[in-house]
Amino acid sequence: MAVVSAANEQAMSESRTGAPSSTFIFAIVAALLGSALPFAASHSPFVLALASQALIAAIVALSLDLLIGNTGLLSFGHAGWYGLGGYVTGLAAKHFTAEILLLLPATCLFVALAASVIGAMLTRQIGKTFAILTLALSQIFYSLVFVAAKWTGGEDGLQGIPIATLAGASLSSPQAWYWLLYAVLLATLCFGLYLRRSPLGRAWLAIKENSERAEFIGIRVARLKLLAYVISAAIASLAGGLFALLNGAVSPDLLSWFESGKILMYVVLGGVSTIVGPVFGAVAFTFAEHYVSSLTGAWLIYFGGLFVLIVIVAPGGLFGLVATAWRRFESRSNGGGGAA
């Protein structure tokens, strides 16, 4: 939790003073880069496909940051909701309908209901206890895949998920999928930024700083922690559903502790409690994972070293590094203008 506190220091101070200009600048940069990529990769279908996977990773990373950054609850098993969303969407697509406008809302609603029941017990715990319980929950989901192998496919995963449709139109081209995922990510990003700056977000910040004091001034701590957990789980399930429909299959690995570790690395690499940072962290990790793993089978060693380096040298992640550089640039520009 010390790492999380150090990484959140900048974001917490910005929340007190108002809108952090750097957050909106990076959000605009992310939007521009994302919209330009399909044109830059028009002759590289693989790059576009990899970018689509990165967008899904960004959505699930953002969902975890909404939990950690808002309430300080550190989850070691966030892949449980991510994978559950994938399996629920895949099963519904195979047995009911492939219409994405029906599948994804139904998946989010189902997972939100499940998270509200389970979260009512989990969010009463704090610190390491909560983190370990979330890891145990994800492993329960992972085991259920093998118990219900008749439905889930067991070790082989859920195969043969039909091609999704959007308002009746088939989503079969990589370009259509990219723009859909890009739109979902932007909508989720705007939602996260709105929540962070709303009165609800301020109440979450008060809980994270001192839950006892927040309770004393009338904030319903348990209820708001549960709300953050449910929202986070629902968005993670949305990412899982998109993954299932994009790839046409879901494997048990999507629920594993290793996947949970990757999601946490997205957030730490980008910057905890920054909303925009985890998006950059997820995209950078996804592309780096592919290209580094294609060069060496020991890519985890390099990523482990990078993770340790980020935690020690830049606890604010990539967002913190660039935001610090931007503030220095602004201060020098203002200073220079004043001198002139």
> Nearest Cα to 181, choosing from 123, 140, 129, 242?
242
Say how many C-beta atoms besides its own lie within 10 A of residue 293's C-beta: 14
What CA–CA distance (Å, rounded) separates 182 from 279?
12
What CA–CA distance (Å, rounded) separates 210 from 5?
12
Average pLDDT value for residue range 225-238: 96
What CA–CA distance (Å, rounded) separates 244 from 134?
23
What CA–CA distance (Å, rounded) separates 138 from 205?
26
DSSP letter assigned to residue 161:
P
Average pLDDT value for residue range 203-227: 89
User: 28-39 pLDDT, tens per residue?
Assistant: 777 777 788 877
So what's the pLDDT on residue 335?
66
Q: Which of 2-16, 232-246, 292-306 has the lowest mean pLDDT?
A: 2-16
Average pLDDT value for residue range 61-85: 93
CA triplet 248, 250, 252: central angle to 5 degrees?
165
Tell me which amino acid residue 17 is. Answer: T
What CA–CA distance (Å, rounded) separates 192 from 142?
28
Q: Which two tokens stand for residue 325?
A: 């550089």
Residue 166 forms beta bridges with which residues? 169
Residue 21 has pLDDT above 60, yes or no: no
CA triplet 223, 278, 79: central angle to 5 degrees?
65
What CA–CA distance (Å, rounded) separates 57 from 236?
10
Residue 151: CA count within 13 A, CB half-sphere: 12
CB 146 within 8 A of CB 155: yes
So what's the pLDDT on residue 16?
41
**Total-model pTM:** 0.87
Q: Which two tokens stand for residue 174?
A: 């990589």
Q: Which CATH number fits domain 2-339: 1.25.10, 3.40.50, 1.10.3470, 1.10.150?
A: 1.10.3470
Q: Which of 35-39, 122-126, 173-177, 196-200 has the lowest mean pLDDT?
A: 35-39
User: 279-317 pLDDT, tens per residue?
Assistant: 988 998 898 888 888 777 777 787 778 778 877 877 777
What CA–CA distance (Å, rounded) separates 219 from 328?
37
Say how many C-beta atoms besides its own lie within 10 A of residue 147's C-beta: 11
Q: Report percent pLDDT > 70 for the chain.
A: 91
Residue 324 has pLDDT above 80, yes or no: no
C-alpha separations of 203 from 71, 195, 212, 228 in Å: 9, 10, 13, 11
Q: Where are the beta strands (DSSP E) in the chain?
A: 165-166, 169-170
CA triplet 215, 216, 222: central angle to 5 degrees?
10
